[in-house]
Structure 1
Amino acid sequence: MEQKDKINGYDLLAAGYNAGEILGLALSVLEEHFNTLSKEVALVLMKKVLTRPEDFLDDEVLEKLATKIIEAANRPADDTIALLNNVSDYTMYGAGHIEEGAKQQMSVAMKLPVAVAGALMPDAHQGYGLPIGGVLAVKNAVIPYGVGVDIGCRMALSVFDISEVHFFENQDMYKRELIAHTKFGAGHGFHGRYKADHAVLDNPAFNMTPFVKQLQDKAASQLGSSGGGNHFVEWGIIEFETSNEELNIASGKYLALLTHSGSRGFGATVAGHYTRLAKQLCKLPKEAVNLAYLDMDTAAGQEYWLAMNLAGEYASACHEIIHQKLTKAIGAQVLARVENHHNFAWKEFWNGEEVIVHRKGATPAGKGVMGIIPGSMTAPGFLVSGKGATSAINSASHGAGRQMSRTKAIQQISKAEMQAVLKEHQVTLIGAGLDEAPMAYKDINIVMDSQKELVDIIAKFTPKMVRMADDGSRED
């Protein structure tokens, strides 16, 4: 006998079903298998399937409907990827000097379903997505904003066979050459016969996609230049209290060149493009939207990975050209050169499994790995050797870290105050805005004291002549 007063969609909506695929499937099942039941009995059955679908997973007729209901219950609305309910533990260094915003961002990052391990460095401060100074290991995914906008940003140090006395006696010459062979600021580059050449421009990876290919000309024009913001090229005195066998350098004081910059407009454009793509493909809740990730098993993930590595090689080439130009200009011999990068992702092993480690403003500090941790334009920087601390995911800070936002620094620090600090430390400054004033940064000594278990100090670098972007501008 056919069911009288058949159940319709409005009845199921009133019973708690939502409009969509499941409601349609429920009506279809009723029509095909339960059309002889009374409306009341059929409605009771449909309510039971809806409220206790697990009881019907072995039912030959209702198993498909029950499965769909369970899947829908476990799937966030609008295809949003759910964050984990509990925050996995992560290690903080110098927690008392890290702002709450950075800690909150790190906690959100640890809720990502792909997150494996995390750490927060003592120079950490709030950023976009992953905080600056954040280290995050994930499974088979890469987070464009976990790498950052300035892909492959790095430090490079050249130690010369020149004494500090020679530098102090010839500062006019060193200033002239520093100005002549460097260029700074968003969008700035070289043209005509002043353009540099490097094998990186012939890297086949530039042909990977039309998007990357069309950035090759920009990369060529900006090759050997430096960005805005906190990027710099500076002369300073480096002191080795004891001889270093690995670098083959005797104890003493030497003139050194220290540079800080990244992948310029090329890297910034790559970062913007793949961040937008990640947000389209990986929908996360509002608080985690800037942590959108690309699966490494997808074409988009592989594209970004290749583009990121190309940007890293390009950033390294920029430093190489700057150091070559200035080394030649002063007629020096390089005794040692050390380079390390941050704002990058590495494939590494963690607890026996391969993971992708994002270091956004953090220095690789594996056992015996050398790196440079700068202070500010008047504070010392340090040449260090990593201790390979697993709790820090083999990382350390990438600098002193900001204690004052750029806007706040401009509002609260006067030009006279900045000049007084420069004079006190006998530092010559070329360019830079108030947003880069030394007072805007944390005390590098406190930062270094907070990471004694992460690095050993090999040498101390004291800035003496610093060049930065004239207006403190940031990369475009």
Structure 2
Amino acid sequence: MNMEIKARDLIAAGWHEGRRLGPALRRARDLESSGLARADVLAALEKEFPKQLQVALLRYAPAPLAEAIEAETPEEATNVAAARMRMHELLHVPVVQRGVIMPDACPSGGGRATIPVGGGIAVENAIIPGAHSADICCSMFATFFPANHPVGEMMDHLQKVTHFGGGGRPRGYQLSSPVTDEPVWDNPFLKGLQSRARDFLGTQGDGNHFAYIGRIEFTEPQRAALEAAGYTELSDWITRRDGKFNVLVTHHGSRGLGADLYKRGQVAARSWCDENAKDIPDAAAWLAADSPEGLAYWDALQYISRWTRENHSLIHDALLRRLGQRALVQIGNEHNFVWKRGDIFYHGKGATPAWRDREGRPLLGLIPLNMAREILLVLGANNDNYLSFCPHGAGRNLSRSAMLRPYKDAEGNIDPSRVQQVLAEVTGGLDIRWFCGAPDLSESPLAYKDATKVKAQIDRFGLAQVVGEIQPRGCIMAGEAPEPHWLKARREKKARHKSERREGNAETEA
């Protein structure tokens, strides 16, 4: 008579000592109690609890890292060193094959192995939610239309059709689209989120997201380059319109819908790694791409991509209707996402795809620099040395709080009149608007890297070819909501008390 099956029996048969072993052992004993022979028990058990042949461990040495960035100042050097440290932590993760840092690399917050903005990785058979971040599918979208409207008129209409700030659109002002009725809501990562998909349609959020009105005038060499690359529709319109267009460019991600998906993905990835790996940091936890969870998460990501593109389109279409215009050409690209190329999953957090599409054309992308500078229209160079990415913008050398510090007084306040003065100096002649009311100096051109340097590094490292520059005319960003009177009064009262205590201490010391 067989002795009761033990944990060591399962380990000897190929199961490992993970969190799944306990449930597997209990199920094995249930099967055994039904009268099955030991061999039949193990065969039946493997259908419910597949064996893991080994536990994935961190690499001793990191995978290779390429750096398409040059530091010329102490501030830039500190930033690059921080990004490099986080990338090296991430490159110890066994599923990560290679990594890259782009010219727009930003200060790396978060914990161990958190991918920095401006980072990209190539991953084998795995999806790492932390490597696309909570702002899934943060992306660019541009509509080219006839250049025959005054800037103020376009900006007035744009202010009415877009929506910035936290949360979704107010009831009564929501938008509708067939994208919310797609049959995707039984996906475990999307279940129960259909109302979120509806609430956030037509919204852009806050932070560095924007709606930008610009104008472009293509040169003949630029038109020829687009024609040679296979973008014949845009080339034809350039010829028909003498190369001159107005352009609406929007920048935002998947809003609350994507944030909820990210949270679910992160929980599932943590659970998967707890069962199949050891010592994996939260920011690097992954789902096996060929597992049921990985396949479902991949499908959810594809839906989020479609939803986000529709979100852009709804805002663009609403502006065009108000102007009595139609889209001549529309293009767009993600820069916080996961892309599958062959058997490899490319993850980018603030990294623009610059490889070739299925038709063999170099991808056409948009790289913004800041609200007062041009947006670059680029053809990807497909430079495998840098994972065929290019930057997603100009990036920052300082965090928002560090950037604002010199503009604050001893009480931590920023003088509104000084903000207006500084903004006028760096955005002169442009129609700059703040949807929520007050300007946000941390999103002004002062907060970003030298745009000219970033453009030079795109060329220096052979990341992309610039084939057009959309010159700024106006920009809307979220800005800051006005401070409530009660909060302002409380803050000023605390500041007075602090000042009085300081004065009292000074008198005592005297």
Instruction: Out of 111-120 and 315-324, give the one that drifted further.
Output: 111-120
Structure 2 CA distance, aligned partners of 1:333 and 1:469?
Answer: 26
Tell me by how many angstroms 1:322 deviates.
0.6
User: Does the Cα contact within 8 Å between 2:126 and 2:289 map onto a contact in 1?
Assistant: yes
Tell me by how many angstroms 1:159 deviates.
1.1
Tell me by how many angstroms 1:286 deviates.
7.1
Corresponding letter in the other structure for 1:222 = F
1:396-440 per-position Cα deviation (integer Å, ceiling 9, x unaligned): 001111222122233334514542334435342334522212111
User: Does the Cα contact within 8 Å between 1:185 and 1:227 map onto a contact in 2?
Assistant: yes
User: Does the Cα contact within 8 Å between 1:409 and 1:437 map onto a contact in 2?
Assistant: no
Structure 2 CA distance, aligned partners of 1:472 and 1:146?
Answer: 31
Q: Which residue of 1 aligns with 2:61?
A: 86
Instruction: Out of 249-258 and 142-151, give the one that drifted further.
Output: 249-258
Corresponding letter in the other structure for 2:178 = A
Instruction: Out of 225-234 and 304-313, give the one that drifted further.
Output: 304-313
Q: 1:124 to 1:285 in 2, by over 3 A?
A: farther
2:316 to 299, 308, 323: 323
User: Does the Cα contact within 8 Å between 2:430 and 2:472 map onto a contact in 1?
Assistant: no
2:161 to 172, 178, 181: 181
**Helix, strand or coil for the counterpart of 2:143?**
strand
Tell me by how many angstroms 1:93 deviates.
0.7
User: Does the Cα contact within 8 Å between 2:185 and 2:194 map onto a contact in 1?
Assistant: yes
Q: Which residue of 2 aligns with 1:167?
A: 150
1:229 to 207, 218, 225: 207
Tell me by how many angstroms 1:273 deviates.
1.9
User: Does the Cα contact within 8 Å between 1:344 and 1:360 map onto a contact in 2?
Assistant: yes
Task: Give yes or no for the alignment of 1:271 onto 2:262.
Answer: yes
Q: Which residue of 2 aligns with 1:363?
A: 352
Structure 2 CA distance, aligned partners of 1:406 and 1:423?
Answer: 19
Task: Give yes or no for the alignment of 1:463 onto 2:472.
Answer: yes
2:406 to 412, 416, 437: 412
Q: TM-score, normalised by structure 1?
A: 0.76
Q: 1:323 to 1:436 in 2, by over 3 A?
A: same
Structure 2 CA distance, aligned partners of 1:415 and 1:409?
Answer: 13
Tell me by how many angstroms 1:181 deviates.
0.3
Task: Give yes or no for the alignment of 1:147 onto 2:140.
Answer: no
1:57-206, aligned counterparts within 5 Å?
81-96=56-71, 97=76, 98-125=79-106, 126-128=108-110, 129-163=114-148, 166-168=149-151, 171=152, 173-192=153-172, 194-206=173-185
Structure 2 CA distance, aligned partners of 1:404 and 1:150?
Answer: 20
Structure 2 CA distance, aligned partners of 1:208 and 1:328?
Answer: 35
Tell me by how many angstroms 1:449 deviates.
1.2
Q: 1:232 to 1:464 in 2, by over 3 A?
A: same
Q: 1:411 to 1:306 in 2, by over 3 A?
A: same
User: Does the Cα contact within 8 Å between 1:195 and 1:221 map onto a contact in 2?
Assistant: yes
**Helix, strand or coil for the counterpart of 2:320?**
helix
Structure 2 CA distance, aligned partners of 1:408 and 1:285?
Answer: 36
1:137-167 per-position Cα deviation (integer Å, ceiling 9, x unaligned): 111000001111111111001111124xx42
Q: TM-score, normalised by structure 2?
A: 0.71
Corresponding letter in the other structure for 2:245 = Y
Corresponding letter in the other structure for 2:91 = M
Structure 2 CA distance, aligned partners of 1:288 and 1:133?
Answer: 20
Structure 1 CA distance, aligned partners of 2:429 and 2:374?
Answer: 10
1:308 to 301, 308, 311: 301
1:443-470 per-position Cα deviation (integer Å, ceiling 9, x unaligned): 1221121122111111111222111114
Instruction: Out of 233-242 and 359-368, give the one that drifted further.
Output: 233-242
Q: Which residue of 2 aligns with 1:10?
A: none
1:241 to 219, 234, 241: 219
**Helix, strand or coil for the counterpart of 2:105?**
strand
Structure 1 CA distance, aligned partners of 2:166 and 2:269?
Answer: 25
Task: Give yes or no for the alignment of 1:436 onto 2:425.
Answer: no
Corresponding letter in the other structure for 1:93 = A
Q: Which residue of 2 aligns with 1:45?
A: none
Structure 2 CA distance, aligned partners of 1:189 and 1:426?
Answer: 27
Corresponding letter in the other structure for 2:250 = T
Tell me by how many angstroms 1:99 deviates.
2.4
Q: Which residue of 2 aligns with 1:396?
A: 390
**Helix, strand or coil for the counterpart of 1:213?**
coil
Ranges of 4+ aligned residues in structure 1 off by more than 4 Å: 283-287
Q: 1:324 to 1:264 in 2, by over 3 A?
A: same
Instruction: Out of 271-280 and 139-148, give the one that drifted further.
Output: 271-280
Q: Unpaired segments of 5 or more residues in structure 2?
A: 1-6, 13-52, 357-361, 408-417, 483-510
Task: Give yes or no for the alignment of 1:374 onto 2:359.
Answer: no
Task: Give yes or no for the alignment of 1:261 onto 2:252.
Answer: yes
Tell me by how many angstroms 1:261 deviates.
0.6
Corresponding letter in the other structure for 1:375 = L
**Number of residue pairs matched?**
390
Instruction: Out of 145-154 and 243-252, give the one that drifted further.
Output: 243-252
Structure 2 CA distance, aligned partners of 1:216 and 1:130?
Answer: 30
Tell me how large the CA RMSD over aligned residues is.
2.6
Corresponding letter in the other structure for 2:286 = Y
Instruction: Out of 100-109 and 406-415, give the one that drifted further.
Output: 406-415
User: Does the Cα contact within 8 Å between 2:93 and 2:280 map onto a contact in 1?
Assistant: no
Structure 2 CA distance, aligned partners of 1:239 and 1:435?
Answer: 30
1:454 to 430, 441, 463: 463
Q: Which residue of 1 aligns with 2:330?
A: 337
Q: Which has the larger radius of gyration?
A: 1
Q: Unpaired segments of 5 or more residues in structure 1?
A: 1-19, 26-73
User: Does the Cα contact within 8 Å between 1:108 and 1:287 map onto a contact in 2?
Assistant: no
Q: Which residue of 1 aligns with 2:23?
A: none
User: Does the Cα contact within 8 Å between 2:147 and 2:215 map onto a contact in 1?
Assistant: no
Q: Which residue of 1 aligns with 2:187?
A: 208
Tell me by how many angstroms 1:204 deviates.
1.5
